[in-house]
Structure formats: C-alpha cells, structure tokens
Amino acid sequence: MTRMIGYFREALVHPDDVLVVEHQLQRAASAVGAPLLQEEIKREPAPTRNPLWSLMETLDRRHDTMLVRTVTDLAARDRVDLRPLMGGPASYRVLWAAVEQLHSGEGGYIVVPSMTHFEGLVVSRPVLMRQIADLHPAVGILDASNADHLAVGANTVVIGEFQVPPVPLAEDIASTNARARIGRAGLADLAPAVDLLVRKLVGTVTEKDHFSGQGHLLTIRIHRDLAASTLVVTCLDTRDFAEVPPHRAVVEACAPGRIARTRWGTSGTATRCELLLPGAQQSEPLSATAR
C-alpha cells in the first residue's frame, strides 16, 4: 500500500484550525485509497520572529491598521533591510526528513494542505520540486486543497500533479513535468501522446494570457484508471468556461479516448481526457463538441 506522510507549516495554519487541516490531509489520502495515520502528520515549526514585528501583525489583524505595510513601504523607500526584524525564511528540515523517510522505503506521497506550504522556505519552491522529482523510488506531492476532485477508488493510481502558470513557456513547463512523471510510472510508451495532449491542453488556454496579464492558474493531474485501462489527464483551470467545448486540437490529441469538460469547484473548469493504455479496448467515445 502506498505510504502517505502529511505535512504543513505551523506559520500558515491558525492554532484553532490545526484539527481541520489534519482532517483535510487525511481525507485527501483516503480519496486515493491510502490511509494517513495521525502520527504520520508532520509539522514544520514557524521561524522565530522579533516580538515587536509579531505585535504589529497582531494589531493589524485586530484593529484593521496598516502598521506592517507602512513600515515595509518606508523600509523599501529608504533601503532598510527588515529581515532581522521579520525573521528569516522557514526551515524545511521536517519536510525533508519526511521526504527521506519515503525515499528510503518504497516511495510514496507527501500530503499538503496546499502548494503554498512550499513557499517561503530557505530553498525556493522550484528547486525543492526538482530535488523531489529526481528521487527514486519516486516521492510525489498530493495537494489536499483539491481533495474533493481527486479520483477515488482502489482502481486508481495517482501518477502526479503539478501547477502551470500562464507564462510564455507554459507548454514546455507542462511537458517537462508530465514526461518526468510518466517516465517514473513506467509508462514511457505513452510519453509522446501525453506530451502532445498536455501541450494542447495548456497551449489552447494560455496562448494569449501572458500578453493580456490574466492571472489564472492551471493544475495538471495524471492518474491511471486500472478498471478502465486508461490514463487520465485532467486540466483544472481556476477560470469558469465549462460551457465552452474543448478546443479541436485537444479533442484530436485525446482521440480515440474520451474527453469531457465540467465545472470544477465553484468557479473553475475541469477538462478530463482519457488515453487508452497499451492493449486496452476502446470504449464508446464520450461526445464533446470541438470549437
């Protein structure tokens, strides 16, 4: 059974919400068919901060003041280094210890409340993600903020999930991430098909966004459906265009597999594409009108 280790940064979770966050992590693990024990949920301690800075933050929260913003603006204007006052970046000692636990065994997943728990560490998020991606046995990341939309069931094998910002290199970013995960999952034969599909999924919705300044975010999720003998690639977009049919290029890249577009959450869009695994029989295609 796939091993799961939960992780969150105490600095990002209010003390009153700890139990809620722990339950969120356990739900996410359960959604992919793997239990997450209470003792397997790790906490990264908050970095030590100057008491004066903490008091300023408390006053801002309680009395709707702007002390922190005012001081930050003044420091930027006068080129004053506030780091000694604010405290340094957060350690990732607990996180990496959890990663090494999984790596020393048969691999597994780090379950986090959201990807923001990898921000503000002493090592940048891109570097951290590359370090984790290079490990074998593979260590994956499970984002619990999307737990309600994870594929559920014993016949599901999660291969990977990653986010793609709408930037000029979005297609290349998506392609590199997808190929790495497909390769680690032993599905190298499907890499060209997945690469094409991911590029079309990302390219058809971001081709103009980096010029217009749109700030939406894409999440690519890949899993195997063992019961249907398919590889499922889902593109989650924070914008709502669920009523718009998938682009013709996406439909063609997914063929002869099924494709469907639905609303994701309250204001997002999910585009789900199924690629047949080698040797699988084609099922009745799900209709999707291309634009």
Does residue 42 sit in the same domain as residue 57?
A: no
Query: 């690629």: which residue's tokens?
Result: 275
Does residue 16 sit in the same domain as residue 139?
A: yes
Name the strands in the sheet holding 259-264, side by side, starting at the edge strand that comes first in the sequence. Answer: 156-164, 218-225, 230-237, 268-276, 259-264
pLDDT at 253: 94
CA neighbours within 13 Å on the CB side: how many for 65? 12
Does residue 169 sit in the same domain as residue 290?
A: yes
Q: At what angle do helices 51-63 and 67-78 cross, to 10 degrees?
A: 130
E strands, the chain, in order: 3-9, 41-44, 108-112, 139-143, 156-164, 218-225, 230-237, 259-264, 268-276
Does residue 116 sit in the same domain as residue 21?
A: yes
Domain boundary pick from 119, 150, 181 = 150
How many helices (H) and strands (E) would you count in the chain?
A: 10, 9
Does residue 163 sit in the same domain as residue 249?
A: yes
Does residue 16 sit in the same domain as residue 76?
A: no
Does residue 35 sit in the same domain as residue 165?
A: no
pLDDT < 50 positions in the chain: 147-149, 151-152, 208-213, 285-287, 289-291
Are the beta carbons of 67 and 60 closer than 8 angstroms?
yes
- CA 238 to CA 115: how far, in whole Å? 15
pLDDT at 155: 65
Domain boundary pick from 86, 111, 136 = 86
CATH code (residue 43)? 3.40.50
The number of domains in the chain is: 3
* Domain of 63, in residue numbers: 53-86
Does residue 168 sit in the same domain as residue 291?
A: yes
- CA 93 to CA 258: how far, in whole Å? 43
pLDDT at 58: 82
Does residue 168 sit in the same domain as residue 272?
A: yes
CATH code (residue 263)? 3.30.565.10
Does residue 103 sit in the same domain as residue 158?
A: no
Name the strands in the sheet holding 3-9, side by side, starting at the edge strand that comes first in the sequence. Answer: 41-44, 3-9, 108-112, 139-143
* Amino acid in position 159: I
CA 291 to chain CA centroid, Å, is: 28
Domain boundary pick from 64, 86, 108 = 86
Q: How much of the chain is in helix, strand and coil states, percent to nearest 5?
A: 45, 20, 35
* Tens-place pLDDT, residues 55-97: 888 888 888 888 888 888 888 888 887 766 766 677 899 999 9
